[in-house]
Amino acid sequence: MRTPRFVVVLAATLAVAGCEKKQQGAPAQGGAGAAAGAAKAGGDTILLGHVGSMSGNEATFGASTDNGIRLALEEQNAKGGVKGKKLALKTLDNQGKPEESAVAATRLVTEDHVSVLLGEVASSRSLAMAPIADTYKVPMISPSSTNPRVTKDGQKTRPYVFRVCFIDPFQGTVMAKFARDTMKISRVAVLRDVGNDYSVGLADYFSAKFKELGGQIVADQSYKAGDQDFKAQLTAIRGRNPEAIYVPGYYTDVALIARQVRELGMKQPLMGGDGWDSAKLYEIAQGALDGSYFSNHYSHENPSPVIQDFVRRYKERFGEVPDGLAAMGYDAARVAIDAMNRAPDLSGAAIRDAIEQTKNFDGVTGTISIDQDHNAVKAAVVLAIRDNTAKYAATINP
Amino acid sequence: MTEFLQHLVNGVSLGTIYALIALGYTMVYGVLKLINFAHGDVYMVGAFSGFYLANALGVARAPSLWKAFVVFVVSMMICALLGMVIERFAYRPLRRRARLTALITAIGVSFLLEYGFQLPSIPGLGIPFPPGPTPRFFPQPFQTVGWQPFGVYVSNYDVISFVVAVALMLALQYVVFKTRFGTAMRAVSFDSQVAGLMGINVNRVIAGTFALGSALAAAAALLFAGSRPKIDPLMGLTLGLKAFVAAVFGGIGNVPGAMVGGLLLGLAEEYVAGYTVSSYRDGIAFAFLIIVLLVRPEGLFGRVRAEKV
Amino acid sequence: MTPARAFGRSLLPFAIGLPVLVVLQGSLRGSASIILMAAGINVILAVSLNVVNGFTGQFSLGHAGFAAVGAYTAAKITTGLADVQIVGLPVGLSDELIFAAALAAGMVNAAIAGLVVGMPSLRLRGDYLAIVTLGFNEIIRVIIENTPFLGQATGISGLPARTNVLWVGMGIIATVCMAVRLAESTHGRALLAIREDEIAAEAMGVDTTGYKVRAFMISAAFAGLAGGLLVHLIQLCTPRSFTFVKSIEIVAMVVLGGMGSVTGSIVAALTLSLSLEGLRGVQQYRMVLYSLMLIVLMLVRPEGIFGTREIWDLLPRVFRRRGAPPPGTAEPGTGSGGKLA
């Protein structure tokens, strides 16, 4: 009895494994020749690839970005696509892991021959994709990886890697300037997400600039994304009596932090970065963030038709207010589309050159120009939260 | 001094939650010698059942105490049922097998719940289920009211959650040590084969244990979500891990041990994060645990069992 | 057997494997190559963990932590020596030698970490050991996140792309040879004795703690190797690659393959890695299907795909090696791993 059953299971599992191998082997053989060359657009569609965290603990960011990209593609298709061809999107999940991002990016590039690679949210995953974009000469646009190293390979700029978001040094500096010049405060506590490169980067650059401007960092505490209880750190911060608390994290955690700040009887304003931008922040914080400030790419109040149309159409399509990551995904896809329209042909090198020449592109998240380091140069706005909504407070130019 | 007392309040409020979840781990371990990896996710399901029930009853629009009570009790019942289902289909078929086998199905169930709840909602269901990865706001049954005796901030949620948690633990203590079911449970935990020979329905006792532990996890989830109203499908991951640590710390398989273990872990974390470098919070909590285990390998309250050849 | 012959015999698998790997290296491109390498690294992790969890019956939940130690050591060395060329050697060969040295250093450091963790904690039993190793995994992560020298949360980027099919293949051969030969050695018998009945083993004069610590160190060293290979594959070394979820995934591979079966670990690691890869296209449903597969496979075949047996135990007797019957199959009827009530 034991052996037959055993053999059946073994055969089944080997069959599964065998099939997988075959599946992946077949396109790879064909891809061997084409991989090194430019991405070939098959037939009358242009395929774009997105590597995102569709599952795992950052799935909510991956899903938003994917929605933003989809919206941009659908709009362009309604206008007739690019060069008479329809746009299509293939998204591969990376479960929030760097090594899976590398595999997913390789698959998109060598099996599906995507013209442009979009992704990832977190810098540590974009960093795993960047060498692949360079190796196979496929342009990659990261919607929201803010670490300066993403577009850099040592000292030199990675030729095929771009981004449409701020980099940490700029955004950290913006808030430090705003705190000193406009809020006129000199004692700030920092609460950072120690496992998140975005948060650590912002916190470091903020602290450096703030001290340089004559301010004082009275406490530097950390939490881990997914924590539910922050009262230990906040109680310690309360003992130092700061004038404001800088919390450069994602809205998923910041809303709870804000509530617990108020529950501990602290009246100080909080300050943060573009990771705050989401309707969920206000829904969960329930007014706890009133009086706080954060830096962002754009303001929902801005009457610009690009922004208002985007917000309206996103709501129609997905039934929710877009968060910052959706807007970044939308812009990344539109910068790619714009470059494909301008490029003489759809080879990787041509698209790359066109992206590099992007100047004053009118995006949702600001007027985007790509600089020589392949970063987006755009102004930051500082938003003030009043009556549980964000109001425009100031614009700070790079 | 104010800061010290504030940490004490925070630590106790966190520790009671750890303790409630740790009880589920420890009871299941007691009867099955199995680390129920899916327990943290049962906790998550508890929070979401509360979320759906509260929305159905309209707690956000018209909060009232009896609605909160209904949500509380029904969520506990849903989770008790879920616990029994998991036991019946994922663990019972493997009971006579090597222990690590059931551990893998436990991991499988845990992944299934976590990633299943991250799926996009089924259209046409009327409620957003599965909830998807975006965090949800947990509707609050009543307004937060705070007091500040001696500069130490205490909210009504802290008080209620502490009182309810202690009441539940006392009730559990009564069930385990004073009722026939509890006696049967302890007998199964001591030696399930002999307990079976004595006429105890081992299957029913184990199912009951799962129901009890899961109901406590749901209670913990609702108490926790009341004051920290953000719920998402992975909320049980870290908390479950910490509660498991608390259970081992108190001596796994030991009911009072889990309560003390949870409370001590909450306090230890609180003071470590408050008075040292908070970025080492998790690391120091684990280091502390390791040292305790090295000095007292059976946990704080665990009994040293003579090993028989 | 003379020492020279023994040495020759241990080189034999490499000699056979090398031409195959060179051909694979030359023929595989793009995604096929990276998918196979990622799966191969999982094979190394699973087989090395099998030494502790399978052979010895100890329950370690911190394997990714040891991989992290190896990975960071190797990454630091290759980035630090990126501009260095060994005198008198061409650039390519010098780079490969530096990489080999970095991997070796990673293995040594991981083994030392194994010793540090193993010495005190292997006195603990079962689940307590699990929690200590898990705690160690978390402590490693916390230390990395707080050390600017190790790049904190972002990690070390810009590693040279050194890992290729050849390196991974050699790593697998080394790990599998180690495991198979260990199982057949005196040392391995002692480990199996500890798994089957620790008290009896101790009564028979087996230095249980000593053997366990050594098994732990060997296992950790090969985890370090896998870590070193992984980070030079994706050219990035971050703490996100070595979380306790990763450790759990490796444990799942070992148990699914069959505790103590080297073949089982290989088959399970390949099956799980490749089917996860095959399911990548279905987005969010991927992990749901994966978890269902895990549950169903375990329910259908509770002792793991291979139980404690190896693939050659299934071949007709004539093909088997001469000498003692393979380990773990002394009593085919009752040998399924770890009879823990």
Give residue-wise pLDDT tens across range B55-93: 888 887 777 888 888 999 999 999 999 999 999 999 998
Can you read off the two tokens belonging to residue C15? 């000699």
Give B88 to chain C, closest Cα distance, Å.
12
Please tell me the predicted confidence (pLDDT) of residue C115: 92
- Cα–Cα distances (Å) from B296 to B241, B244, B290, in that order, read 21, 17, 10
Per-residue exposure over C317-335, b if at least 16 CB sit within 10 Å of its own CB, e if not: eeeeeeeeebbbeeeeeeb
Cβ of residue C9 closer than 8 Å to a chain A Cβ: no
Kind plus residue range of the DSSP H or E element containing C196: helix C186-196
- pLDDT surpassing 70 at residue C316: no
Model-level ipTM above the cut of 0.90: no
- pLDDT surpassing 70 at residue B304: no
Collect all residues of chain B within an 8 Å Cβ-Cβ radius of residue C117: none
Kind plus residue range of the DSSP H or E element containing C219: helix C208-234
- pLDDT surpassing 70 at residue C204: yes
Q: B275: which residues sit within 8 A by CB, 6+ positions away?
A: A236, B7
Residue B270 to residue A232, Cβ atoms within 8 A: yes
Name the 3-class secondary structure at B59. coil
**Residue in B229, B239, B278 nearest the CB of A284:** B229
Percent of the residues in chain B that have a pLDDT greater than 90, as a whole number: 33
* Chain A partners (3+ C-beta pairs within 8 A): B, C
Residue B153 to residue A264, Cβ atoms within 8 A: yes
Cβ of residue C9 closer than 8 Å to a chain B Cβ: no
Give the pLDDT band (50/70/90) at residue B303. low
What is the torsional sign of CA C236, C242, C243, C247? positive
Mean of the per-residue pLDDT values of chain B? 86
Give C158 to chain B, closest Cα distance, Å.
26
Cβ of residue C153 closer than 8 Å to a chain B Cβ: no
**Residue in B90, B105, B282 nearest the CB of C142:** B282
Collect all residues of chain A within an 8 Å Cβ-Cβ radius of residue C265: none
Q: Are strands A244-246 and A187-193 parallel, antiparallel or unpaired?
A: parallel
Using DSSP, how many helices (H) and how many strands (E) does chain A show? Answer: 12, 17
Collect all residues of chain B within an 8 Å Cβ-Cβ radius of residue C142: 279-280, 282-283
- Higher per-residue confidence, C99 vs C314: C99
- pLDDT surpassing 60 at residue C129: yes
Q: A300: which residues sit within 8 A by CB, 6+ positions away?
A: A307, A311, A390
Q: Are strands A216-223 and A187-193 parallel, antiparallel or unpaired?
A: parallel
pLDDT digits (tens, 9 = 90+) for A140-158: 999 989 888 889 887 889 9
Please tell me the predicted confidence (pLDDT) of residue C275: 87
Mean of the per-residue pLDDT values of chain C? 83
What number is the average pLDDT over the span C23-31? 80
Cβ of residue C236 closer than 8 Å to a chain A Cβ: yes
Residue C34 CA to its chain's centroid (Å): 18
Give the pLDDT band (50/70/90) at residue C93. confident
- pLDDT surpassing 60 at residue C95: yes
Give the pLDDT band (50/70/90) at residue C1. low
Cβ of residue B289 closer than 8 Å to a chain C Cβ: yes
Per-residue exposure over A161-198, b if at least 16 CB sit within 10 Å of its own CB, e if not: bbbbbbbbbbbbbbbbbbbbeebebbebbbbbbbbbbb
- Rounded to 5 degrees, φ, ψ at B108 are -60, -45
d(CA A272, CA A248): 5
Please tell me the predicted confidence (pLDDT) of residue B171: 92
Percent of the residues in chain B that have a pLDDT greater than 70, as a whole number: 98
Q: For tokens 């390498």, what's the residue?
A: C37
What number is the average pLDDT over the span B239-244? 86
**Residue in C34, C146, C278 nearest the CB of A106:** C34
C-alpha closest to that of B84 among B213, B218, B236, B190: B213
Please tell me the predicted confidence (pLDDT) of residue A213: 92
Give B142 to chain A, closest Cα distance, Å.
14
Mutate to test the interface with B, among A91, A94, A194, A228 (most CBs of B within 10 A): A228
Contact present, A43 and A84 (Cβ < 8 Å): no
Please tell me the predicted confidence (pLDDT) of residue A41: 46
Percent of the residues in chain C that have a pLDDT greater than 70, as a whole number: 91
- Rounded to 5 degrees, φ, ψ at B126 are 90, -35
Please tell me the predicted confidence (pLDDT) of residue C131: 78
Q: C15: which residues sit within 8 A by CB, 6+ positions away?
A: none
Please tell me the predicted confidence (pLDDT) of residue B305: 58
Provide the whole-model pTM: 0.85
Q: Which residues of chain A have pLDDT under 50?
A: 1-3, 6-41
Collect all residues of chain B within an 8 Å Cβ-Cβ radius of residue C298: 94, 101, 104-105, 108
What number is the average pLDDT over the span B218-247? 88
Alpha helices in chain A (DSSP H): 2-36, 59-78, 98-110, 123-136, 168-181, 197-212, 231-240, 251-263, 279-285, 305-318, 324-342, 348-356
C-alpha closest to that of B50 among B219, B288, B273: B219
| Residue A22: burial class (beta carbons within 10 Å; 0-12, 13-18, 19+) | exposed
Please tell me the predicted confidence (pLDDT) of residue A18: 42
What number is the average pLDDT over the span C91-112? 91
pLDDT digits (tens, 9 = 90+) for B151-205: 788 888 888 889 999 999 999 999 999 999 999 999 998 888 899 999 999 999 9
- Higher per-residue confidence, C245 vs B222: B222
- DSSP string across C263-275: HHHHHHHHHHHHH
d(CA B175, CA B181): 7
pLDDT digits (tens, 9 = 90+) for B137-151: 888 877 778 888 877
Give A145 to chain C, closest Cα distance, Å.
11
